Chain A
């Protein structure tokens, strides 16, 4: 017992001050993307060709779809896109994940007032891992460690769908998990929300187009929060959640 207390003193208090104070992310972290002037000069086609995942396209001006983006270093090698260390990526609607040069910045909206007063102070999720590589699950789990301490915001992941207010989906939704996903959704009492966490859940990620998977949860269930990234950084996840419950608003 004494050893444990001494260890506790040595380890110290480690819960971060976020959102009161900013999170510190390594310099090479790839957050919100920006187009470089080179992108417009090179023209859309060259930029589109730089992305193996079809995240960049040029129908009526060049755009980058964060829902398909894996935040890999490939297109930065072509010098069309630069990644800032801004972790605020989550959005409320699918089309708000599309970034245009000089375009408007969309951040996730709070839940509508009725729902917010119902679950805003105690939001419980049932997570379903539906394919993917388990990195999204790993970085969702991180939020419950002492460093992030998700519980202090009244947000929790629970064991039973009956105790949940929402479904947390990771993975592209494999054919072998489709039924279990739908059954879990049905077991959650309404009103209920859905979060698509990570590139796979949004659009299939690296597995987009696989005949064994469904390219994400969109089209299977209505999504209320999209969190891009492969996997999303815990800070990106937390930002989206805190905006959802109205704990962070505005820029």
Chain B
């Protein structure tokens, strides 16, 4: 199949000059055609220019295992294709907000993170440079009618969680529509990365989303390694894989507990809360940090694993496995729990496909997409992890998928620890090549993470684009609430457990 993109495998860099620069209409048509044929939009962003932006679309094809990139120039504005390709609706709003040019014909044209554009004085909504830009200040969707009421929650919520604003349009208990407005955690990550890398860059990468430190660092390392042509030792790849699966285990365990807690089933909730900590401690055995800070660096890993630590980890893993199985089995054998999980917060496969959902949320709807299999990277090239799907797209499906994935991760880590390749842990990093585009996809525990770096002639970042899985998936949560009881929101929310900071950047 010929596509008007420059295609290459995951974790590669190509000269930016080889990326087709299409005429705007052809570019948009190419995105429409590709998504019709099952390609996904992994990232879509703008590089601001004097007259507008250079639009850059990164698509991925699971069937072909390739990534495709194309660009086009937009002057003053760009046409929206969100009505035809719903999965780009948020990307288009992001481009508008960052580059200061409107997406013409966008059905839902509002700010995403509530900040000024990258170009001083230019604003997609025509706001004056001295107008304050306040988060959550915009036109919300409204349902009219005598018996309709609106419930607004946040930004500060009841628990120890990140800020966000949620508006429910309700008819009695039933939710007609939920609108989610974020941006409160916006701390200028992407803007701060331009001109890099510098010594602080890895730390910003590790803190894009704290619970996904390894997932984002793996993507950053792949980008850097592609640009510098570094060969990563197999032992380092294995250690990265172990860390990534530990991250998945810790978070899935925490979520299984939180889901149990939200249906009022306290045994699993309290056991899992503790077992999650056991997985975090395993990551700390690897590198001293429960979140894997400082473990991955371009070229490899900073900490090797000694015999003593390896044995320690194997013992901890076996103990945590027993505890986790014991805690989670309770859910399946408690009918009152199952009846709360089943048919709650359902997302259909078609909706999931249209919105471009990723990770467990997509797999729970029966979409078999997983970067570890579709675009294998690092250790997964030689040690695949079996993919898990479910079919109902409800809370129960998302819970089951998490549990089964956790089991696969336990097996994977065990095998990797047992048969850890010999050799060094860090390859020599060279200089970054200039005028290149590098793309890395990884499968974080929430789903596909996409990092794109475009370098200038001196090898500095002209643009560094980060797409957290939450960017695709928040819309899925909004859809899951349609027709539900508003009191089911916490449960639906936990079953997705999306990142605010990863989205807000």
Contacts and interface: CB of A to CB of B under 8 A. Distances in A.
A14 B289 CA distance: 22
A144 B501 CA distance: 22
B291 A137 contact: no
A65 B286 CA distance: 26
Contacts of A137: 160-162
Interface stretch (A99-107, A115-123, A207-215): A207-215
Nearest to A206: B203
A3 interface: yes
Nearest to A77: B302
- Of B162, B189, B213, the most chain A CB neighbours within 10 A belong to B162
A224 to B, nearest CB: 19
B39 to A, nearest CB: 31
B210 A70 contact: no
A59 to B, nearest CB: 21
6 closest pairs, A vs B, by CB? A135-B210, A133-B210, A28-B288, A52-B199, A145-B273, A212-B188
A238 interface: no
A212 B200 contact: no
Given A28-B285, A127-B160, A174-B186, A139 B290 contact: yes
Contacts of A133: 206-210, 213, 501
Interface in A7-21: 7-8, 10-11, 14
26 contacts: A3-B330, A10-B323, A11-B271, A52-B203, A53-B200, A83-B288, A131-B501, A132-B207, A133-B208, A133-B210, A135-B291, A136-B210, A138-B291, A142-B277, A174-B184, A174-B186, A176-B115, A176-B134, A176-B135, A176-B183, A176-B185, A177-B185, A179-B134, A206-B203, A211-B191, A213-B187
B192 interface: yes
B207 A207 contact: yes
Interface of B is mostly: loop
A205 B267 contact: no
Contacts of B231: none
Contacts of B333: 3
Contact of B203 (A10, A53, A157): A53
B303 A141 contact: no
A233 B186 contact: no
A133 B206 CA distance: 9
A211 B494 CA distance: 32
A52 B200 contact: yes
A174 B134 CA distance: 12
Interface in B245-293: 267, 270-271, 273-274, 276-277, 280-281, 284-291, 293
A207 B183 CA distance: 16
A171 interface: yes
A132 B501 contact: yes
Interface residues of A, number: 65
Nearest to A211: B188
Nearest to B203: A206
Interface string B86-124: 000000000000000000000000000111000000000
Nearest to B254: A138
Interface stretch (B151-159, B218-226, B345-353): B151-159
A205 B210 CA distance: 13
B199 A131 contact: no
A100 to B, nearest CB: 24
A233 B457 CA distance: 42
B326 interface: yes
Given A7-B330, A72-B203, A73-B302, A207 B188 contact: yes
A134 B468 CA distance: 14
A140 interface: yes
A180 B136 CA distance: 12
B211 interface: yes
Contacts of A134: 162, 209-211, 499-501
A29 B270 contact: no
